Structure 1
Amino acid sequence: MTTMLRTVNRVALGLVGLVLLAVGGAVLAVGLGANPPSWWLHDGRHDVLLSTAERTRWRHEGWWWPVVIAVLTVLVLLALWWLVAVLRRRRLGEVLVDTGDGAGALLRGRALEGVLAGDAARLDGVSHSHAHLTGRRDAPEAHVRLLLEPHVDPAVALDHLANESLAHARESAALESLPAEVRLRTAKHKAERVS
């Protein structure tokens, strides 16, 4: 599914890019004084993109505005679908685990993310953690965000994360390596009045 989505995404973006480049280049060439062919949309340099007659041709027809609205709605829905698909596929769906028998097994990416985030949240001084996986299923990469308590040394928290949580995730999924990008933030507590 991800490979098919990636292929559709690249083909669609390539076609849209080629069409926009061709039309934009042709309009620019005519605007700069090139002689357009007889079948081209514009006759010359001072021709407008849409004449008044072209813009108002179908305005009084009963079917015109519903069709325009329907087409624009479909285009917006397709654009939203594409955006959601692109954003969703950044998260790794499954991780290939080497079982030692040559066949392998698949581990859900969200399960490994949940275990990694839960393990990191149990570290001393971590008030909240979030993890997600990207990359390929045979070479995942972890992205971890930790919210640290104000008293915690970030270097110590990072060392514990690398030597405990990430090492545990790497060993449990039988991965050779698990590169990680870690973002650390410190929790801010409001000052309280003491009487």
Structure 2
Amino acid sequence: MRQVRRTANRVLLGLTGVVLLGTGGTVLLGGLGLAARWNLDLPDNWPWAEPDDVLLSEQNRTRWTDTGWWWPTVIAALAVIVLLLLWWLLAQLRRHRLNEILVDSGDGEGALLRGRALEAVLAAETESLEGVERADVRLTGRRTEPRVRAVLTLAPHADPGTVLLRLADESMAHARGSAGLDRLPVDVRLRAVRHRAERVS
């Protein structure tokens, strides 16, 4: 999901940049009369080549305004664009990863622990457990009430119950102790490792 969101962001940003760059270039080219100054040979149907030209003629602007489907289509298209932009904005503002944790240092002020550091330590210790091929760990929640989301890739011989028990008794217990937390809830997803089939001759 994160990779899909990152790709969608890049595509949207790229398309937005291309549209803005093309529109801005067209406005500058026509508004400042750059085509005549630079002796550019523009196509005959170029919409805006001189400062007095208009981008859309009156005929083009009013071509379909008298038809019944025009305004509902325009309003629906604009509503879809606004909803998509709002969804994109909310997706950017929503924080999926906890950057820091507030640790009780005993002096009444507290200290901040980097979330990435705790994630790295927790993932390394979890991967050292027998039967765990890979551990992807992410901190979520608030810095005063962090939560852990872990995706564990298990080896074919691993016992899921034993892995979960050792995760709770060892890895999570050590994480709670090092961060000075009374509780650290964890949401675990288990996956089986996939090996490529090999041809036997």
Query: TM-score normalized by structure 2?
Result: 0.56
Unpaired runs of 5+ in structure 1?
Answer: 1-49, 57-71
Q: Is 1:104–2:119 an aligned residue pair?
A: no
183-192 or 90-99, which deviates more: 183-192
137-146 or 115-124, which deviates more: 115-124
Task: Map 1:24-43; keep pairs closer than 5 Å.
Answer: none
TM-align CA RMSD: 3.0
- Counterpart of 1:159 in structure 2 is 165
- Counterpart of 1:84 in structure 2 is 92
- Counterpart of 1:137 in structure 2 is 143
Displacement after TM superposition at 1:135 (Å): 1.5
- Counterpart of 1:190 in structure 2 is 196
1:52 to 21, 43, 67: 67
State percent identity of aligned pairs.
Answer: 52
Residue-by-residue CA offset, 1:15-74 (whole Å, 9 max, x unaligned): xxxxxxxxxxxxxxxxxxxxxxxxxxxxxxxxxxx7539959xxxxxxxxxxxxxxx999
2:123 to 114, 117, 123: 117
Unpaired runs of 5+ in structure 2?
Answer: 1-64, 72-79
Displacement after TM superposition at 1:100 (Å): 1.1
Displacement after TM superposition at 1:113 (Å): 1.4
- Counterpart of 1:178 in structure 2 is 184
Number of equivalences? 133
140-149 or 101-110, which deviates more: 101-110
Displacement after TM superposition at 1:170 (Å): 0.7
Q: Any idea what SS the aligned residue of 1:147 has?
A: strand
Higher RCO (CA-CA < 8 Å; seq separation 6+): 1
Shift in CA distance, 99/76, structure 1 to aligned 2, threshold 3 Å: same
